[in-house]
Amino acid sequence: DTGVSQNPRHKITKRGQNVTFRCDPISEHNRLYWYRQTLGQGPEFLTYFQNEAQLEKSRLLSDRFSAERPKGSFSTLEIQRTEQGDSAMYLCASSLVGVETQYFGPGTRLLVL
């Protein structure tokens, strides 16, 4: 079991560009979560999937943010037309249905210049 992996680990982009992050959950984990964390704050829920179905999403995940989990395995989070306020750590976590322990990946740190 290799744990949750995220790529890239760091991303620097210019304002207005699109970025895409990838999360590979622990194999056989059917739930997958995306969070955003800024300095001095706890992780903020963005969205979660059960298998390939996106079951809930935050109001933050609107127009510029989109997430997919097409085959119920890895997931991608895309941010379009990035803004400086999008600079944050983007965390992915996975869990098994029926078990509430979430296992987090190392995160992707985004800096928008």
Residue 101 in contact with another protein, rule: CB under 8 A:
yes
Contact pattern from residue 52 through residue 81 relative to another protein, giving x for each residue in contact according to CB under 8 A and a dash for the rest = ---xx-x-----------------------
Asked if 42 touches another protein (CB under 8 A), the answer is yes
**Binding span for another protein by CB under 8 A among 17-25, 40-48, 59-67, 75-83:** 40-48
- Residues 86 and 110: beta-carbon distance below 8 Å: yes
Coil, helix or strand for 27?
A: coil
Q: Is residue 91 within the footprint of another protein (CB under 8 A)?
A: yes
Going along 25-106, which residue ranges are E strands?
A: 31-37, 44-50, 53-57, 65-68, 75-79, 88-95, 103-104
- Using CB under 8 A as the binding criterion, the count of chain residues that bind another protein stands at 22
User: Apex CA 21: angle with CA 16 and CA 23, to 5°?
Assistant: 165
Pairing of strands 10-13, 108-112: parallel
Indicate whether 25 belongs to the interface with another protein (CB under 8 A).
Answer: no
d(CA 95, CA 58): 19
Of positions 41, 53, 83, 111, contacts another protein by CB under 8 A: 41
Q: Which residues bind another protein (CB under 8 A)?
A: 31, 33, 35, 40-45, 48, 50, 55-56, 58, 91, 100-102, 104-107
